[in-house]
Amino acid sequence: MSLAVLYSRALSGMEAALVTVEVHIANGLPNFTIVGLPETEVKESKDRVRAALQNCQFDFPARRITVNLAPADLPKESGRFDLPIALGILAATGQIPSDKLAEYEYAGELALTGELRPIRGALAMTYRAVSSGRAFILPQANAAEAALVEDATVYAASSLLQVAAHLIGRELIAPFISQPQTIQPRYPDMREVKGQTQAKRALEIAAAGGHSVLMMGPPGTGKSMLAARFPGILPQMTEAEALQSAALQSLDGNFDVAKWKTRPYRAPHHTASGVALVGGGSNPRPGEISMALHGVLFLDELPEFDRSVLEVLREPMESGRITISRAARRADFPAQFQLIAAMNPCPCGYHGHYNGKCRCTPDQISRYRSKVSGPLLDRIDIQIEVPGVPQDDLLNKADGEASTDLQARVEIARQHQLARQDKANAQLSVTEIDELCAPDAQGAALLQQAISRLNLSARAYHRVLKVARTIADLEGDKDLATKHIAEAIQYRRLNL
């Protein structure tokens, strides 16, 4: 047989499109051609495949070899096609049988010795392979993450020789059995933060309802510590959330099975570009907001980011998705993250601090704070001040509530929301807000005064109601009372 057909997968955003690998051997001058819109890494695979076949003592045909990666209009990248191309040559030349090739999908980069090296995106590819009814043959290093997909049949191979022996039937590879993850996620403990009772309360509300937070305060008051401990009070990840998060990290090649069901925590430096945050590239890759899926995106020193960089956050914060469009490519990535931001109150950082050493003028303070645009601030649900910690609190031993205590209350509040509307309060639509967040008469009057005095926009008005709904859920109250509205309004009074 001079023609062999195998199956693999190409990554396009979050999708893993099926690729048919067709290998044809014909008479003529020796030549090795790969067609089907291959990128540089795929074009280079012919040299890796030739060396791997020869070093594994297979015959490499001195004939005309044509490899077609279909569909032809889908760009193919990375070295994941090395394995199916090599197996296709072996099948087309009769060195291995071709009757079982269609039962599997293949992906793996070949070393010159024939060993299989890990690839990125294994979890996303396996998820799609399950729906096709085929098993997946992958490098040993990718088997653990691929096996996280429910009902997936994964065969872990260490070399080309092992795969060939399996297809011949000489030494069958046993399906990879995933070991249950018994290690609980570990996060820094909120108890380690001294003082800052109000900030901890605000973060508890944010965790319960999925709200975004901006903390403003002098240096050294614990803003970064609070943000780092915020993932530890979020509800535990569901299987679906963990799988989505792991699939995105797999696309970037950074997934660690030991961190299964651990909330992502991303903290890009303020020199990061807009592309670094939202993703991009000729072959679009996810950015920080997508890598923080179902986790936390922490932006420290918020005014130090370029204004154009911060503005790219506005649409994803509303929609929960990001679409990256290029001249010939388009990719959609999820972007459901919780934004935790921190900033100083002035250029020197000590405005309002009890040491009184700030010498910034009102004009300097105004210019500094105006680096963060009004439309972006309007989208942040909770805005609080984190004041300097009194010296007595610093000298005392930390004795606040542990993260586990806060998480227990957050879990109960989130369950109330899921039972009521099947989503977190931060994701409520306008119609659902009118139905589920209606305040009592006194609360409505208080809210009307706040709209007038604080000049709240329509968006800010709705966000106050959603925060109030979360406060009520934390207290186990079915209806919104005046006290819930009053506390929610306090979180919109930051002077920016």
Residue 333, beta-bridge partner list: 322
Tell me the residue range of the domain where 299 lies: 190-402
Contact of 95 with 61, CB cutoff 8 Å = no
Q: 88 and 34 share a domain?
A: yes
Residue 492 lies in a domain: yes
Low-confidence ranges of the chain (pLDDT < 50): none
Question: CATH number for the domain including 449?
Answer: 1.10.8
Q: 441 and 481 share a domain?
A: yes
Residue 312 dihedral angles phi and psi, to the nearest 5°: -70, -10
Q: 199 and 338 share a domain?
A: yes
Residue 421 lies in a domain: no
Question: CATH number for the domain including 20?
Answer: 3.30.230.10
* Domain edge (last residue) among 168, 201, 228: 168
Contact of 227 with 300, CB cutoff 8 Å = yes
Q: 301 and 374 share a domain?
A: yes
Q: 67 and 23 share a domain?
A: yes
Q: 163 and 237 share a domain?
A: no
Three-state SS string over the chain comes to CCEEEEEEEEEECCEEEEEEEEEEEECCCCEEEEECCECHHHHCHHHHHHHHHHHCCCCCCCCEEEEEEECCCCCECCCCCHHHHHHHHHHHCCCCCCCCHHHEEECCEECCCCEEECCCCHHHHHHHHHHHCCEEEEEHHHHHHHCCCCCCCEEEECEHHHHHHHHHCCCCCCCCCCCCCCCCCCCCCHHHCCCCHHHHHHHHHHHHHCCCEEEECCCCCCHHHHHHHHHHHCCCCCHHHHHHHHHHHHHCCCCCHHHCCCCCEECCCCCCCHHHHHEECCCCEECHHHHCCCCEEEECCHHHCCHHHHHCCHHHHHHCEEEEECCCCEEEEECCCEEEEEECCCCCCCCCCCCCCCCCCHHHHHHHHCCCCHHHHHCCCEEEECCCCCHHHHHCCCCCCCHHHHHHHHHHHHHHHHHHHCCCHHHCCHHHHHHHCCECHHHHHHHHHHHHHHCCCHHHHHHHHHHHHHHHHHCCCCCECHHHHHHHHHCCCCCC
Q: 86 and 212 share a domain?
A: no
Model pTM?
0.88
Q: 199 and 242 share a domain?
A: yes
* Domain edge (last residue) among 168, 202, 219: 168
How far is 334 from 292, CA to CA, in rounded Å? Answer: 10
The pLDDT tens digits of the residues spanning 52-75 come to 999 999 999 999 999 999 999 888
Contact of 199 with 215, CB cutoff 8 Å = yes
Q: 249 and 145 share a domain?
A: no
Contact of 79 with 123, CB cutoff 8 Å = no
Residue 101 lies in a domain: yes
Residue 343 lies in a domain: yes
Residue for token pair 């695979």: 45
Contact of 231 with 263, CB cutoff 8 Å = yes
Residue 173 lies in a domain: no
Taken in order 49, 55, 57, 61, the sign of the CA dihedral is: positive
How far is 481 from 439, CA to CA, in rounded Å? Answer: 6
Residue 322 lies in a domain: yes
State the distance between the two ends of the chain, measured CA to CA, in whole angstroms.
74
Question: CATH number for the domain including 315?
Answer: 3.40.50.300
Residue 154, beta-bridge partner list: 136
Q: Is 428 left (phi over 0), alpha (psi -120 to 50) or beta?
A: beta
Amino acid at position 42, single letter = V
Taken in order 392, 396, 399, 402, the sign of the CA dihedral is: positive
Amino acid at position 401, single letter = E
Contact of 373 with 196, CB cutoff 8 Å = no
Residue 20 lies in a domain: yes
Q: 143 and 199 share a domain?
A: no
Contact of 310 with 317, CB cutoff 8 Å = no
How far is 78 from 455, CA to CA, in rounded Å? Answer: 53
Q: 382 and 472 share a domain?
A: no
For 495, other C-beta atoms within 10 Å of its C-beta total 10
Q: 231 and 296 share a domain?
A: yes
pLDDT of residue 63: 93
Q: What is the total count of domains within the chain?
A: 3
Residue 260 lies in a domain: yes
